[in-house]
Structure 1
């Protein structure tokens, strides 16, 4: 597999490292176009869940490409020991890194969440739920375009099929997932709503000192807008948050509905809404 990769790409320096593998910068020799190459060591996959995630990522990324806000996959090379995925080269800092600083302005937050929702709506139209949307999985390319990544936990829900299984990350996972119920693709909209809340407030809507406490707060889903923090946030932004972070998934917005909300359509320009 390594020789097959090197026949097609010039592999350069290491630029990242994860639980299962290493990411290298690589170049296509004809175009000299830079890419990222994720090299996964299969011997590090400890159980069937890990192996399932390994197979999921290239499968779903290939189905969903190309889309301007989804990390694009270009080549997959595989043998008995390694899997290598050639994909978009992105900046080293994720949305999580950007959110460590001061809260975003409404126009900045609206622009980012619009791009994220467009990626999610594309996934949902093709019957794919991401199921682990969080700031760490939101990248940016060299032109600063948002790219949704990491489809290892993704699942099909087409043909009216529901999903099950506790998948996701504390702070961002929807309550119906934690309650062990069957659920639909709107779990992704909940996660996007939580990200939007943090972008505007600088804190998560549901929190605790441990994963268990965070999960308890998520299940209660007592959504609040502390006046000290939200005094400068527009009523339109808070209205969208209520509709995305709705404990009742039947009343929760779909990604398409969220994209049609006036706050998104006005690009967070609150003056335009008054």
Structure 2
């Protein structure tokens, strides 16, 4: 572990492992507070590759967005010859994917509270021109208060309208959650995150994705068709307001799809019990 990091933090047990690195629990030598440190092995990324770009962009974007109560905050970063170390919020209570797997479906009030926090995080990103591009339950962590923390900004990009940057390109994301305009090869903007968040909400309420296939190709075909359905066996207990929001988020016509700010103002989201927590 890097010498500078070890001077400031006691690095403890491993709590997670990803494609390029390991996450450890750590404590601040100055305050005793608990954090996570994500240590990325730079040898696993090559020079000018997309992976190398992801390695560099994530700490920059997190520093740009912090602090926010529903985004994984970056407290410090250290770099040595072999690793990049990012000191982040410690989230001991698993992620949204694990929560859904364990529960099957979430009660509507719980789904509403969690989703309102996720929508707040996405709206904050968009206000800074940041498009996450990989919103999915695995990237929605739950902290010690079981509050949402949007994580993994390795695929994110920043739009700077003043510099003429108003659209993105490139197929980025995860099959079930990717927006149709991405698959069509068109330029796209921040509303791809709204589509992905709509898929997340659908899965919270139904326990399965709205657009399904046995292979990635079949999933992409289903996404492109965009035939949104609400099977009665699952959705008979879901409120009309929740279904209305889903229709407005999972809308193929980007011009008619809600923005993240409009999602926050939708009556169903505005009914969340912890709206005081969203700012």
Q: TM-score range by the shorter chain?
A: over 0.9
* Correspondence 1:79-98 to 2 at 5 A: 79-91=80-92, 93-98=94-99
Moved more, 247-256 or 10-19: 10-19
Partner residue in 2 for 1:60: 61
Partner residue in 2 for 1:256: 261
RMSD over equivalenced CA pairs, Å: 1.2
Moved more, 126-135 or 92-101: 92-101
Report deviation, 1:92: 5.3
Report deviation, 1:15: 1.4
Q: State which of 202, 206, 213 in structure 2 corresponds to 1:197.
A: 202
Partner residue in 2 for 1:155: 157
Q: Does 1:71 align with 2:72?
A: yes
Q: State which of 196, 201, 206 in structure 1 corresponds to 2:211.
A: 206
| Aligned counterparts of 1:37 and 1:266: Cα–Cα separation in 2 | 35
Secondary structure of the structure 2 residue equivalent to 1:164: coil
Partner residue in 2 for 1:145: 147
Report deviation, 1:48: 0.8
Secondary structure of the structure 2 residue equivalent to 1:56: helix
Partner residue in 2 for 1:34: 34
Structure 2 residue runs of 5 or longer lacking an equivalent are: 274-279
Structure 1 residues 176-214: Cα deviation after superposition (integer angstroms, max 9, x where no partner): 001110001000000110011111111100000011100
User: CA 1:10–1:48 in structure 2 vs 1: closer, same or farther (change >3 Å)?
Assistant: same
TM-score (norm 1): 0.95
TM-score (norm 2): 0.93
| Aligned counterparts of 2:100 and 2:69: Cα–Cα separation in 1 | 22
User: CA 1:233–1:92 in structure 2 vs 1: closer, same or farther (change >3 Å)?
Assistant: closer
Partner residue in 2 for 1:230: 235
* Correspondence 1:5-20 to 2 at 5 A: 5-20=5-20
| Aligned counterparts of 2:251 and 2:119: Cα–Cα separation in 1 | 16
| Aligned counterparts of 1:231 and 1:26: Cα–Cα separation in 2 | 46
Number of positions where the alignment pairs a residue of Structure 1 with one of Structure 2? 268
Structure 1 residues 240-269: Cα deviation after superposition (integer angstroms, max 9, x where no partner): 00000001111000011011111112238x
Q: Detail structure 1 runs of 4+ shifted over 4 Å in the superposition.
A: none
Structure 1 residues 96-115: Cα deviation after superposition (integer angstroms, max 9, x where no partner): 00111221111111111100
Moved more, 49-58 or 97-106: 97-106
Structure 1 residues 159-188: Cα deviation after superposition (integer angstroms, max 9, x where no partner): 152000000001101000011100010000
| Aligned counterparts of 2:271 and 2:11: Cα–Cα separation in 1 | 44
Secondary structure of the structure 1 residue equivalent to 2:177: coil
